[in-house]
Copies of this chain bind each other. A is one copy, B any other.
Amino acid sequence: MMNLRKLGEFGLIDLIKRMTGESSGVIKGIGDDCAVLPFDRKNYLLFTCDMLVEGIDFTRRDKSDLIGRKSLGVCLSDIAACGGLPRYAQVSLGLPASMSVSRARELYRGIIFQARKFKVAIVGGDISRSDKLIIDVSLVGLVKKRNLVLRSGAKKGDIIFVSGELGGSFYGKHLAFTPRIKEANYLVNNFKVNSMIDISDGLLQDLGHILKQSNQGAVIFEDLIPISENARKSEEALYMGEDFELLFTLPLAEARRLQKRSMRSLAKFSAVGEIVNESCGLVFLNRQGKKVKVKAGGFTPSFQQSSVGVEKERAGFRHF
């Protein structure tokens, strides 16, 4: 009898996708950072959720305040990836009865910190008892129709960018990242962004999602990748995941225009490669200009072992 470990997360997501099918009246359902739904003449509704589980997405030793920030932060990162602004959140908590009230208060303080920072109203939730701490946040936002960016819009010749720096997230940043709402809105309001995703599974795996949904290939140059000073190996910037930076593509002329601007209040944007023919697949060129075979899979398939080997027990979450 096959179990979920064997099927793997992507297998399960494919299964769910097949079972669910498509629904009329849905602009974009399963398969992007957010669901995209009708709202009014000028805007779409964005809808996303993320579940954090103790021992998987954080440990009991992590600061409650930071766990709270992360729980809303990962949803904010999804709204950013679609070019939208967040509005309303629901917070479901599974809490151990033995948890101290002060720890619960700290957790919620972290959630409220993020909510205020990004103008999100916490409008409800649910509480259940659970042996392990579970936080599931669902978030509704809005995006101007002309600003909506999906994973599926990358075009041949597009320049591939990332925001901020990659790698080393598991040594701390995965709990204390800044969701790139401001950066994403700057981009979609000023540039023609063809495709975008947030880096939760690792640069190469998330780029893989864009390529698959856009029917394109890509060339990535190792020496262009902005590596975080927290990274212990440069490989982490490719595979580690949970960077929660933006990965996006712009037509060449737009890319040139972006590179001329410098916005001090925003994370920097780095060009890391180019979209090419689908038949080329995903080509990774190392510092010596040599093609390196890209490992299959990113860092965070929850039901399987990670391919990198750093903190194997911390397998992340996965949207579908």
Q: Contacts A26-B121, A90-B35 given; indicate if A128 touches B4 (C-beta within 8 A).
A: no
Determine the chain B residues whose CB is within 8 A of the CB of A123 once the complex forms: 23, 26, 29-30, 35, 37, 47
- Assembled-state Cα–Cα distance A104/B16 (Å): 9
Instruction: Decide if A94 is an interface residue (CB 8 Å cutoff).
Output: yes
User: Does any Cβ of B come within 8 Å of A118's Cβ?
Assistant: no
Residues of chain B with a CB closer than 8 A to A318's CB: 126-128
Selected interface stretch from A51-59, A249-257, A274-282, A287-295: A51-59
| Shortest beta-carbon distance from A65 to chain B in Å | 13
A6 nearest in chain B by CB position: B101
CB distance from A293 to the nearest CB of B (A): 28
B90 touches A3 (CB 8 A): no
Residues of B within 8 A of A16 (CB): 108, 125
Bound complex: CA of A45 vs CA of B37, how far in Å?
Answer: 12
Q: Are B92 and A49 in contact (CB under 8 A)?
A: yes
> Does the CB pair B19–A124 fall under 8 Å?
no
Are the C-beta atoms of A100 and B2 separated by less than 8 Å? yes
The residue from B13, B48, B122, B302 contacting A90, defined by CB atoms under 8 A apart: B48
A184 part of interface (Cβ distance < 8 Å): no
Residue of A6, A34, A115, A317 contacting most chain B CB atoms (<10 Å): A317
- Say whether A266 faces chain B, with CB atoms less than 8 Å apart: no
A196 at the binding interface (Cβ < 8 Å): no
Which of the 9-residue segments A133-141, A214-222, A237-245 touches chain B? A133-141
A232 at the interface (CB under 8 A from B): no
A-side interface mostly: mixed
Residue pair A88, B320 in contact (C-beta under 8 Å): no
Decide if A262 is an interface residue (CB 8 Å cutoff). no
Is the CB of A183 closer than 8 A to any CB of chain B?
no
Which of B47, B115, B126 sits near A88, CB closer than 8 Å? B47
A8→B222 CA distance, assembly (Å):
53
Q: Which residue of B lies closest to A9 (CB)?
A: B127
Please report which residues of chain A, range 289-320, place their CB below 8 angstroms from some CB of chain B when the two chains form the complex.
302-303, 315-320
In the complex, chain B residues whose CB is within 8 Å of the CB of A115: 20
B residues in contact with A146, CB < 8 Å: none
Q: Which residues of B contact A130 (CB under 8 A)?
A: 53, 56, 132, 134
**Would A128 and B52 be within 8 Å (CB), given that A4-B97, A121-B29, A134-B134 are in contact?**
yes
**Contact status A303-B47, CB under 8 Å:** no
With A122-B30, A128-B57, A130-B53: A3-B98 Cβ-Cβ less than 8 Å: yes
Q: Mark A132-157, 1 if CB is under 8 A from B, else 0.
A: 10101010100000000000000000
Chain A to chain B: the 3 pairs with minimum beta-carbon distance, closest first: A23-B121, A35-B123, A138-B138
Give 17 CB contacts A-B under 8 Å.
A2-B101, A4-B100, A9-B127, A12-B104, A15-B101, A20-B115, A20-B122, A26-B88, A30-B124, A37-B123, A47-B138, A49-B125, A50-B92, A51-B92, A55-B131, A124-B319, A128-B316
